[in-house]
Structure formats: C-alpha cells, structure tokens
Structure 1
Amino acid sequence: MKRFDKDKVILAVAAPLLAVVAALVITSAVIGVTGKDPLHAFAVMLDFGSKSDSQVWIINEAIPYYLAAVAVAVGFRMNLFNIGVDGQYRVAAFVAAVVGGALTLPGIIQIPLVIVVAMLVGALWSGIAGLLKTTRGVSEVITTIMLNSIAASAIGYFLQEGRLAEKDGNLFHTPNLPEASRFFTIPTEPKPIYGTIVLAVLVGVAYWFVLGRTRFGFDLRAVGRSQSAASASGVSVRRTVLVSMLLSGAVAGLVGMSTLLNVSHNYGTDFPAGIGFTGIALALLGRNHPIGMALGALLWGFLERTGTQLEFEGYAQEVVGVMQGVIVLCVVIAYELVRRYGLRTQQRKVGEELAAQARTSDDKAEVSA
C-alpha cells in the first residue's frame, strides 16, 4: 500500500488553485479597464450557465472539445505535437459523411461503419506525418500544419455540386445520412443530450487504461521522457512514434461525429472548424489527464455559452476570448511554478537526509575510535 504523501497532495491542489485565482484577478482587471463591473459579469455568467438549457448546450459543446483534447494529449504524452487534429477530424468527417450518405444499410451496421471509417481516415491522415517523422526525420509540427491546409483544400475541391456534394440554397453539403443511421440522443429537458457523449466517455476510459495500465502506455511515456533511454531498454522508438500518431489521428476522427451523427447529418460548408486548435488548449489546461481535460472542455463550453449573454449586458464580445487565453496561460505558468517549487523542495529534503546520514556516520566513527 502506498504511503500517503501530504506534500504531493498539497502541490497537486496548489497548482489549479493558483491558476484559478490568478485567472480571476487578471480577467477582473481586464474587464475593469473597459469600464465595466467584473463582479456583475461573473454573476451574469453563473446565472445564465446554471439554467437547464445552457447546461445541456454546454455538455453537447464539450463532446467534440474533449475528443480533440484527448487526440492532442496522446501525442503530448510522448512529446509529439500533433497540430493537425483540425485537418484530421475534418477530412475524416467528410469521408465518413460521403460513405454514410451513399449507403442504406441498417442503422446497427451503418452507424459503426461510419464511425470506423472516420477513425481509419483520421489515423491514415495523421499517419502521413508519423511516417515522415520516423523515416525522414521531418518535424510533425510542420507536416501536420501542412496537412491541415491540404485537407481544407481537398474538401473544398470535392465539396462542390457535381462532384461529391449537392447544393442547398447557398450551402453545399454531402448527401444526407439515412434516418436509420442517425445516432441516438439522451432525452433531457428542454433539449436532448447527444448520444455521442458515450463515445467521449469510452475514449476517455480507453485513454486512461491504455496509457496508464498497459505496456504500450509505459513505452510511450518512456519514449516521451527520453528516447535514448527507451531505446536502450529495448523499446522501438520509431514504432512507438508511428503507433501514437495513428492513435492520435483515430481519436481525432471522432471529433466530428457529434455534429455529423447528431446535428447536421451531412458534411457541409458550414461544418464546424477550429476544434482541433481548441483541443491543444484543453490538453494543456487538463494536463493531459482524462478528468482534467473533461473539466476543461466543460469550462470552455461554459465560457462560450455565457459569453453570448455578456454581449447583451453591454460587455465587449472579446472578453470571453481574453478569459480563455488567460486561463490557459495561468494554468501553464502555475503548474510550472509549482513543479519547480516541488523539485527544489525535494532536492532540499534529499540534501538534508544525506547530511543527516553523514553526521550519523561521523558520530559512529568517533564512538568506535
């Protein structure tokens, strides 16, 4: 049984607490500079966010955010920066929508097929960056950013009338998914919660188990700490890098499923973009922990939902963006400060223990003499 480490628990609580306090202080100062009352702004946000329709909206909005954060975190755990989640989920959702719109299978077959296609396409798209890194040493940051542009251009080319899309007013979209292949919803008032929340929960559990309870997860974290040490212990660094990029892309492929299967039922020119970059912020905010990222996704949804109400109260619409940026910066800085403090404290304790052992040895030597 592990011994309870009081100092470790204090440090774990101190980091998020420091980040929250700092974020509130800085945000209050920013709002105050605009000539508005920050306390009234927070009261409006809490009141509006506590309403049942807002809570359902926040949960539904958090689903793709959370999946994007997990996709990014898989790479972060081994010092891989998958900046291409945005392109991966968009191209995955597009191909899945095309495949799903072209088939009329029973829902019990077609829904899993659409999900699997999205995961495979996302994995293949991110696998390009993984393959280039392991075979040619090309930075995954550069390749994933370039693949984002390629994905957007390819989708724009095919998303035209007469190719793989049809026109509906001023919008172009893929053929609609059949009624039978649309995902279920959880009945709540006044609006239902998307059934794709089940996918998010399953992905979170799988992420926790694979990375924290399996040999592959240990190898992945070992490569992230030191590639040379991991290689010396028999871990195939190239294989681990490639597999982690494939897993990251597979999770990224699920990001667009809540919109595709629960909302639009097609991929159109109005399909949400930019979620992948939000996932980077949430992975940092949640410290790559499945629960931390879930709380971060809910917080992001809360800020976006309540931010619209602030505009009706006369606050600048940029306030929410400032809040989001300040929160991420405060979390990163706070965790780094706490980490350094904990490291210095640990070093001081080790030094004191070594000094005590040295004194004990000297005393014994004098007694024996």
Structure 2
Amino acid sequence: MKGLKEKFGAGAVLQALAAPALALVAAFVLSSVVIAATGEDPFHAFYVMLDFGSKSDSQVWIINKAIPYYLSAAAVAIGFRMNLFNIGVDGQYRVAAFFAAVVGGALTLPGVLQIPLIILVAMAVGALWAGIAGVLKTTRGVSEVITTIMLNSIAGSLIGYFLSEDKLAVKDGNLFHTPTIPEAARFFLIPTDPDPIYGTVLIAAVIGLAYWFVLGRTRFGFDLRAVGRSESAASASGVSVRRMVVTSMLLSGAVAGLVGMPTLLNKSFNYGTDFPTGVGFTGIAIALLGRNHPIGMALAALLWGFLERTGIQLEFEGYKQEIVGVMQGIIVLCVVIAYEIVRRVVLRRQQREVGAELSARAGAGAEQDETEQKAGASA
C-alpha cells in the first residue's frame, strides 16, 4: 500500500510539472506560427514583450491590472469548484461597485470606518445579486448560466437608470458619475518607483488565503467540493445540496463585489460611464488558466496583465492589434488541453501500476497457499 501511495505521489508530481511545461511549449510554438503567418518575426515579438515587460513602470502596471483579474477569477473559481458556472461576475461587480460608490460618496466618516463600510456594501450587493441565481436554481431548477447572463444585462440597465443627474449621479462635462469619495476614505497606495502599487493588492492576497483555507482545510470546503463531484453522493452523506448551492453563489457574488474596489478606491474614486467592464469574463479565462488554484490564478492574472501591457508595445512595433488576443486564447486552450492529456496519461499509468500490484499480490497469495497445502500434506 505504501508503494502505491509513493507511485501515485510521483504521478501527481508528474501531472503538476508536465502539464504546465507541455502547455508552455505548445503555446510558444502556436503563437510563433500565428505571428509568422502575419509576415512578422515571432522571435523579435517575444524579445519586445520581454524587454518592455521587464521595465519597472510596466511591472507596476501589470500588478495593478492583475488585482481585479485575480479577484474575478477567485469569484468564478468558487462556483467552478462546485460545478456551478457563475457567468454573472461581470454584472455582480459592476452593480456592487456602483452602489458602494454611491454610499462612499454620500458619507464623510473617518477613513477607518468608511473604507470597510464601502467594501462591505460592495460584498453585500454582489452576494445578493448572485444569490438570485442560486435561489432560482434551487427553487425553480433554472440554470445558473441563463440567470447570471440575464442578470448581467439587468445590472447594466439598472446602473444606466440610476446613473443620471436627477437620480444618483452628477454631471462632469459630458460624463456622468457618482459623487466622488472623500480623500480620507480612499485606499492607501504602496510607494514604488515610478508609480505606486494599489494597496488593494492586500485585499486580493487575503481573498486568496481565505479561498485556499476555506475550500481546502474546512468541512464546508469539503462539502462544497463533494457536491461538485457528485450531488447524489453528497446528499446521501447528509449534505444539503440546495443550501450549498445558495451559499456558494452568495460567496462567489461577495468576492465578485470586490472586483471593482481596486478601481474605485485606488484610481477613479467614483463610478462613471467610463468604469471598466468585461473584467468578469476575463476572470473565467484566468480561473481556467490557473486551474482554480489560488497560486495558479495569481500567476495567470499576472500573465494576462503582462500580455495586455506588452501588446501595447507590439502595436508600436508594427504588429497586428489582434495578436495579443489570439495569444491569450492560445494559452488558455493549450493549458486546458495539456492538463487533460497529462491527466489521461497519468491515469493510465496508475491503472497499470495498480494492475501490476494486484497481480503480484495474487501471485504471492497463490504461492503461500501452495506452500501451506504442501506443509499440511507432509504433516
């Protein structure tokens, strides 16, 4: 039994190392082919990307860009671990950021009180918005994919309705935005040269640690993963599937509510018509790329930010604008396919090892029986 565990441990290590290596090589080769097909030099493109991405200002930009990407991926991953597809993170973080901005702009409390209040409002609104899909799924059997997509559209319309001068917004030139959050209620910046890193990177770190601990080290996390593997088995063991579905959607929405905080508390300080959108959909790709692992998603978020930052420089070098988007798609596909290939290879290897181990045991048992029979006959 000890030998089997050691072999399975080796298989796990093989899967952990071989899959990323295979994905990296495949992505490099396919990206090179695509760039070469446009008539450009792929090796020069990679050199430009590495050179521009290594600059200090680019590194700060990449980290700041990765913060909301990581939070979005964590929100998506909570649902993924339970086999739920929360496609509505985009709407959840936008409606959460909007109402958090309204509350933040309307109050003048000390920062030590107002900042946590803004964050709690964002998490509560995001949780409630996602909870609608969870309740509809458990009570009416409506697919969370359909409801979250529809709620994205409703969120945009709701924000558009209230983001007017006669309701919850003020007009600033040709733009409408919520009242500006007081300076005392803004999140701190980490001083770096030449630009500062958003202090909300600490929020992302806390969420990553909480994600790892709750899902991997608690009974709740075990129940959540059990429901994701088999609802019938989890129900038979005493887990309330309906409660877990609603709770998971609430948690996913609460984390989604934090996605807009780096922009709101460190950059814009209000919610306007130019507030970033689409981060929720990017989070789906990053969650897949990071295999729903907190460290993997962090690396994937940084990689995504790196590609976006260096893609700007590639355009100045004369490369096609769509190259970066194609590379992002290639990387995600290569990671998904590589992990599936390696998983199947490792599974077949484990099956052969188990078969060999069982055969050896059967042979040893037969020899022992034969020896005992001979000893009994001679006696």
In the superposition, the TM-score normalised over structure 1's length comes to 0.98
Unaligned runs of 5+ in 2: 375-379
Name the structure 2 match of 1:69: 73
Unaligned runs of 5+ in 1: none
**Structure 2 CA distance, aligned partners of 1:129 and 1:180?**
36
**Structure 2 CA distance, aligned partners of 1:55 and 1:75?**
30
Name the SS for the 2:315 alignment partner.
helix
Following superposition, the deviation at residue 332 of structure 1 comes to: 0.3
Matching of residues 318-357 of structure 1 within 5 Å: 318-357=322-361
Deviation sequence 1:219-269 (CA, Å, 0-9, x none): 000101111111111111111111010000000000000000000000000
Tell me if structure 1 keeps the 8 A contact 2:15–2:339. Answer: no
Following superposition, the deviation at residue 350 of structure 1 comes to: 1.1
Name the SS for the 1:272 alignment partner.
coil
Name the structure 2 match of 1:78: 82
Following superposition, the deviation at residue 363 of structure 1 comes to: 2.4
Name the SS for the 1:208 alignment partner.
helix
Name the structure 1 match of 2:362: 358
Name the structure 2 match of 1:29: 33
**Structure 1 CA distance, aligned partners of 2:183 and 2:370?**
88
Name the structure 2 match of 1:55: 59
Name the structure 1 match of 2:255: 251
Q: In the alignment, which of 175, 194, 198 is matched to residue 202 of structure 2?
A: 198
**Structure 2 CA distance, aligned partners of 1:365 and 1:6?**
33
**Structure 2 CA distance, aligned partners of 1:6 and 1:132?**
44
Following superposition, the deviation at residue 169 of structure 1 comes to: 1.4
Tell me if structure 1 keeps the 8 A contact 2:11–2:350. Answer: no
Name the structure 1 match of 2:290: 286
Q: In the alignment, which of 256, 266, 272 is matched to residue 268 of structure 1?
A: 272
Q: In the alignment, which of 134, 139, 162 is matched to residue 138 of structure 2?
A: 134
Deviation sequence 1:23-68 (CA, Å, 0-9, x none): 0000000000000000000000000000000000000000000000
Following superposition, the deviation at residue 3 of structure 1 comes to: 5.3
**Structure 2 CA distance, aligned partners of 1:324 and 1:17?**
17
Amino acid at match of 2:249: M
* 1:45 and 2:45 aligned: no
Q: In the alignment, which of 94, 100, 108 is matched to residue 96 of structure 1?
A: 100
Matching of residues 129-208 of structure 1 within 5 Å: 129-208=133-212
In the superposition, the TM-score normalised over structure 2's length comes to 0.96
Following superposition, the deviation at residue 306 of structure 1 comes to: 0.3
Amino acid at match of 1:273: T
> Alignment length, in residue pairs?
369
Amino acid at match of 1:78: M
Matching of residues 98-137 of structure 1 within 5 Å: 98-137=102-141
354-363 or 88-97: which moved more?
A: 354-363
After superposition, the Cα gap between the structure-2 partners of 1:93 and 1:186, relative to the gap in structure 1 and judged at 3 Å, is same
**Structure 2 CA distance, aligned partners of 1:10 and 1:312?**
41
Name the SS for the 1:87 alignment partner.
helix
Tell me if structure 1 keeps the 8 A contact 2:36–2:42. Answer: yes
**Structure 1 CA distance, aligned partners of 2:224 and 2:242?**
11
CA RMSD of aligned residues (A): 1.2
**Structure 2 CA distance, aligned partners of 1:62 and 1:46?**
17
Amino acid at match of 2:314: L
Taking every aligned residue pair, what percent have the same amino acid on both sides? 77
Name the SS for the 1:167 alignment partner.
strand
